[in-house]
Amino acid sequence: VHKGKSKEEILKIRKDNLIPGLLTFYKDPVYVHQGHMQYLWDTSGKRYLDLFAGIVTVSVGHCHPKVTAAAEEQMRKLWHTTNIYLHPQIHDYAEKLTSKLPGKLKIVYLTNSGSEANDLALFMARLYTGVFDAVSLRNGYHGASPYMMGVTAISSWRYNTPTGFGIQQAMNPDVFRGPWGGAHCRDSPGQTIRPCDCPEGTCQACDNYVDQLDDVLKHSLPKDKCGAFFAESIQGVGGAVQLPKDYLKKAYELVRARGGVCISDEVQTGFGRLGSHYWGFEAAGVVPDMVTMAKGMGNGYPMGAVVTTPEIAAVMGKALHFNTFGGNPVASAVGSAVLDVIDEDGTQAISADVGTYFLEELVKLRDEYEVVGDVRGKGLMIGVEMVKDKASRKPLPAEDMSAIWEDTKDMGVLFGKGGLYGNCFRIKPPMCITRADTDFAIGVMRAALDNYTKGKSV
């Protein structure tokens, strides 16, 4: 039972004492009180199915008992020493985490957030290559620090200050909204809405996007050299945009030919979320030189990391570099428990099974409703792009999107929202969700679409 402040009091404090840039979901925001696994309860006791997981952060379930117990146990023993002394947790965790990564990806630098991890990755890449210039993809999100604001290429997250010097953006290889089609080149069950014009298997979309990246590398970077290339294997904030098959493989070849370091941002796609693989880059068939991660690695506990090769990491031996909280005993104990739970609870298999089921059910909605333009994703990293109509693919106007979305919330399901035009439902729940939860969510989505179509909710 909630005995604290009322929603009105909380909203007043939010207005008076918190920064205005703070995003508040829903016209009548949910006042969350408690969480357990895939569910949240508000202060009135109403239960919600959480399909957004604190923005793809609660990986194995809200307050998962094993992760909570690991945190509690460590907090009773030792919260903090900084890593100037030896303590077992960071070492156990580094060993366990790197056992999940392929090849030479064996050196971990622990941070407290994804932005910090990406900052550090860019910093290391610049030191290692001696080249300042880097490339990221339009519509990519990599953080909100001053450096990362320049790497992130979505205008709503950018301020008019000098940020991210030396970053160029390549065209977003978006096969739904981009000019070259190619939706059938996505590694995703049953996604094609309008196959591109070329016969299956001969699609040019991927190569056209790769050529565009090549053009940026050749003509926008000084002396044809590249320091780093950033990409998510499926864009998260950008609306679960899947890159065409083989795009990353070809992009990595181009970047490496210019001496660049390839960085895979796994902040959303890592830890089994894609179902078929533990890391998103594995699903894309590449091995990066650096992997950055955060969010799901702590199941909600703030932590992040860069993992790289010994050769690249060696650049950090040239001076001291310090992070007070990175890899602290509690974070390391939590991170370790999360890795165990992913194995023990079979969360990757759940992502594959329930995620695929979810996608298949959403495809039925796409085929039924004119405003459901695209269904995409892999495992439990799903996007549904809403359109005015299927022929034009114009984004569904914000107020219409909002009407459907608010309705789903009122019926007890919290969908995420995002994409360049704010017209994508983002489905990235805790990876303990069931098929029954999916049936409920699909029922709610269907009801909201019916209400919208009948003009009831607008």
Residues near ligand PMP (CB under 6 A): 55, 113-115, 118, 141-143, 232, 236-237, 265, 267-268, 294, 304
Q: The tokens of 17 are what?
A: 């004492």
Nearer to ligand PMP, 294 or 359 (CB): 294
φ/ψ of 403, rounded to 5, equals: -60, -45
Amino acid at 401: M
Least CB distance to ligand PMP at residue 347 (A)? 19
Q: Which long-range contacts (CB under 8 A, 24 or more apart) does 24-28 make?
A: 25/417, 26/405, 26/406, 26/409, 27/402, 27/406, 28/406
Task: Give the up-direction half-sphere exposure of residue 51: CA atoms within 13 A in the CB hemisphere.
Answer: 30
Strands (E) across 138-260 are located at: 167-170, 228-232, 234-235, 241-242
Contact by Cβ (8 Å): 108, 331: no
- Cβ closest to ligand PMP, residue 226 vs residue 231: 231
Rounded to a whole number of angstroms, the minimum distance from the CB of residue 427 to ligand PMP is 15
Q: Which is nearer to ligand PMP, 93 or 180 (CB)?
A: 93
Q: How far is the CB of 54 from ligand PMP (least distance, A)?
A: 11
Handedness of CA 103, 109, 114, 117 (dihedral sign): negative
Give the nearest distance from C-beta 1 to ligand PMP in angstroms. Answer: 32
Q: Are strands 416-418 and 424-427 parallel, antiparallel or unpaired?
A: antiparallel
Sign of CA dihedral 404, 405, 407, 413: positive
Residue placing its CB nearer to ligand PMP in the complex, 43 or 57: 57
* Closest listed residue to residue 311, CA positions, set 118, 185, 163, 128: 128
In the complex with ligand PMP, the residue whose CB is nearer, 382 or 403, is 382
The answer for residues whose C-beta is within 8 angstroms of residue 317's C-beta and 6 or more apart is: none
Shortest Cβ 134–ligand PMP spacing (Å): 15
Minimum separation from the CB atom of position 294 to ligand PMP (A): 4
Report how far residue 36's alpha carbon sits from residue 17's, in angstroms, rounded to the nearest whole number.
29
Closer Cβ to ligand PMP, 54 or 355, answer by number = 54
Question: Cα Rg for the chain, rounded, in angstroms?
Answer: 22
295 with 117: CB under 8 angstroms? Answer: no
User: Nearest residue to ligand PMP, using CB?
Assistant: 114
In the three-class reduction of DSSP (H, G, I as helix; E, B as strand; rest coil), residue 188 is classed as coil
**Greatest extent of the chain over all pairs of C-alpha atoms, in Å:** 65
Nearer to ligand PMP, 267 or 307 (CB): 267
Phi, psi dihedrals of residue 366, rounded to the nearest 5°: -60, -40
* Min CB(99)–ligand PMP separation in Å: 23
Return the number of the residue (146 or 195) whose C-beta is nearest ligand PMP: 146
Closest contact distance (angstroms) between CB of 363 and ligand PMP is 25
Q: Which is nearer to ligand PMP, 232 or 374 (CB)?
A: 232
Closest CB 280 distance from ligand PMP, rounded Å: 10
**Angle (CA) 188 192 195, round 5°:** 130
Interatomic CA distance for residues 193 and 73, integer angstroms: 51
For ligand PMP, give the closer residue by CB, 366 or 378.
378
* C-alpha 351: how far from chain center: 15
To ligand PMP, the closest distance from the beta carbon of 234 in angstroms equals 9
